[in-house]
Structure formats: C-alpha cells, structure tokens
Amino acid sequence: MAKKITGNNQYLKELNKAAVLDLIRQKKTLSRKELADLTGLSPTACGSITRELIKDGFLYETGQGESTGGRKPVMLELKPNSYYAVGFDIGMNELKMVIADITASILLQRNFEYSPGISAEKVIALIRDKFFETIDSEKLSTDKFIGCGLSIPGILDRNTNKIIIAPNLSWNEVDLGTEVSEALGMPAFIENEAMCSAICEHWIGKCSNIENFICINIESGIGAGIFIGDSIYRGYTGSAGEIGHLIVRENGRPCGCGNRGCLETYASIRHMLEDINERIRKGYSSDAIKPGTGALTWSQAVDAAYNGDELCNEVLRKGAVYIGYAVAFLVNTLNPEAIVLGKCFTDYAPLVMDTLVETVNEKSLKYPVSKVRMLTSEFGMNSSALGAAMIPIRKIFGK
C-alpha cells in the first residue's frame, strides 16, 4: 500500500496529487476505488483529486473496468501528449535534445554538432534557438512544457546548482540552470550526465523495479550514477560517482585530475583509442588494419575489433579488466542489485563482457557478487539526454 498522507493544507494536497499520479503511472490504469484502497485516502478525497487532475489535463477516463458486483468502474490513465519536458545532453562536440510527454513517451530526438571548446554562452544560445525552432516546426505550445533537464559532464554544487567544473568542456563556475531557465521561460534542472543516465534506467530502462543499482557511463570520461533505496545518491557535496578517478594502477599514467593511475587513463574511450593509434603509428598492421592506415576513429577501431583485429581486441579487453576492478570495488562497498554499463560500452560489450564479468567475480566478495546483475544499457549514447528529459517529469510524480 502506498504511504498514506493526511492533512488539509495545500502542500499536503499536492503530495496526495503526486501520489495518485505515481500510482497510476506504475499500474498504467486504475479506478477511483482502487486509488482509495491503495492510498488510504477517502473516496471523497480521491474523487476531488482525480477531478482536478482530469481538469488540468494530467489524467483522462479510458473506459470501464471489470465489475466486482456493482457498476463497472471508470478507469483512469495518464493523458498522453498533455504536457511535455525537454532534455539536453551537453557533450564535447554535440548537443543532444529529447522531448518526451508525461507518460515518458519520446516525441523526438535531435542532435546538433559543434566544435570542441564551445563556450557556455554559445551552448545557451544553441539550446534556445534549437528548442524554439523545434517546437515551432512540431506545432507544440510552450505552455505545455513543465520544465527542462540539463545533463552536464562535470561536478555540480548541489546548494547553488552551479557547475563547479566540467573539464571536458573547459567550464568553471557556470550558472547554466538559471541562464537556460530564463532563455526558455521554464524551470531548468541540472544534473551530472552519469546520474542522468541512471535516471533514464530507473524511469524507463532496465532498473525500473530495482532500488539499489549503479549506472556506469564509459565515454571520453568514466562516471557513475548511483541509486540507493530507490533514491538518487549524490554524496555530501554532490560529487558521488566519480569512479573514473579510482586508482587502478599505482604510479600509473598521469590524469587531468592531478593524480596518476586513474581508471579513466586506461579504460576511457579517449585513452583506449590513443593506445591503438600509438601502436599503428609505430607500424602495426593486420588484415583489418592495412599498412599505412592513418589514425582510427572510435567506430573504425570497434569495427576492426569485430573483424578480429588482435590489437583492438587486446586494448578493449584490457580496458574491461580495469573497469572490472572498479565494478568489484562498487560491489564490495555499495552491494548493488544491478550494475548497468552504458554510453560507448554498448558499442563493444559483446567483445568484452565475459572478460569484465570474470574480473568482477575474481576481485569481489563472493556473496554480494553472486547476487549482482551485470547489465548493458539499451540506450547507448542517448541515455543522458533521455534521463535529462525525465527529470522535470519525475517532479510531478513527487520524485
């Protein structure tokens, strides 16, 4: 049974509305009587709340359910295309945009490229221009947007919601949320990109029924979004999940953070690709990589690995071993039910998953590792943008 919330002030009324909406979201369709039974609210209170939610456009009546002896009950569902949210994932050279409705149905996804080193001011202008261009072309009203989510590859100050540092963007002390909110005329919520991916997995992905899980993004950097007890875990200052800076090799490669031997320097896409291209520059060739081949792109390196190239497979497997060290650390310290590996990992997961799982099993405590589920995200590079769009939507369900 959902937790009963009592009281008659406006604040508690809004909490009750959110509880009703969330139950309908989870169950897909419910009658007023079922809502009263699940919430512990009186039939009168449930009737009043659902009338308001129908009037405001969040719910609609979808027909009659099965009778249990009296009149057939009228069933309620979330109303599709009633309200929307927009999410933006700000990467090193690309802005990803997602628009979703309150049922979490994805209306559209768009990508906009730009040159690395783009300023925060130019990103804000791009977000504003592309958002209004898109809603004009799709004939959507700004009045129907409940908010904007922003995914950032960096560390945030949770007290001010400012970006402390986003090293891959070369941004420091940026109040992006306030600026975007003013530009779009709606609330804007800012979140770390790995946490956005975890929100995506929790709301519409493989962890929708899992309370304790970790989502690991492997890209130019490596980060983790953590859910504990069905809630986001950010840590004291908001920087929880920076697993790319776990030391996996004592006195190893120098890292941009100032330390040496960080996970990122061995298992991020950027560094694995550097390792491959360094060997090619020194004369390496194979059936998949011909002599005189220039520097490979990431997709070319992955293709070569699938075509049996020894070097590319070796580098990807070594990266998976180091990721396995980090996953084992997380299994031993946080005891999650699931670990989801995403972003670029989905490109090469079939080639290295056995290696990663073997490493995790070898380095973890036996009982917790026997219970953890190792999963690959189905969203790939789109997970952070999707998760960003879910942030304002989650708000109306009290999350």
| pLDDT reported for residue 257 | 84
Tens of pLDDT, residue by residue over 304-324, are 999 999 999 999 999 999 999
Q: Give CB contacts under 8 A, 24+ apart, made by 278-286.
A: 279/311, 280/311, 284/311, 286/310, 286/311
| pLDDT reported for residue 9 | 67
pLDDT under 50 in the chain at which residues? 1, 3-7
The domain of 330 spans 213-378
Domain-embedded: residue 1: no
| pLDDT reported for residue 102 | 97
Instruction: Answer yes or no: do 250 and 163 share one domain.
Output: no
**Closest residue by Cα to residue 112 from 389, 342, 360, 385:** 385
Count how many domains the chain has.
Answer: 3
Instruction: Answer yes or no: do 71 and 88 share one domain.
Output: no
Torsion of CA 204, 124, 134, 86, to 10 degrees: 20
User: 296: which DSSP letter?
Assistant: P
Could you report how far apart the first and last alpha carbons of the chain are, in Å?
17
Instruction: Answer yes or no: do 360 and 307 share one domain.
Output: yes
| pLDDT reported for residue 67 | 57
Helix (H, G, I), strand (E, B) or coil at 299: helix
| pLDDT reported for residue 15 | 87
| pLDDT reported for residue 159 | 82
| pLDDT reported for residue 68 | 60
Give how far Cα 7 sits from Cα of 53, 139, 360, Å.
19, 41, 49
Among 78, 96, 114, give the residue marking a domain's end: 78
Instruction: Answer yes or no: do 276 and 369 share one domain.
Output: yes
Helix (H, G, I), strand (E, B) or coil at 216: strand
Instruction: Answer yes or no: do 340 and 232 share one domain.
Output: yes
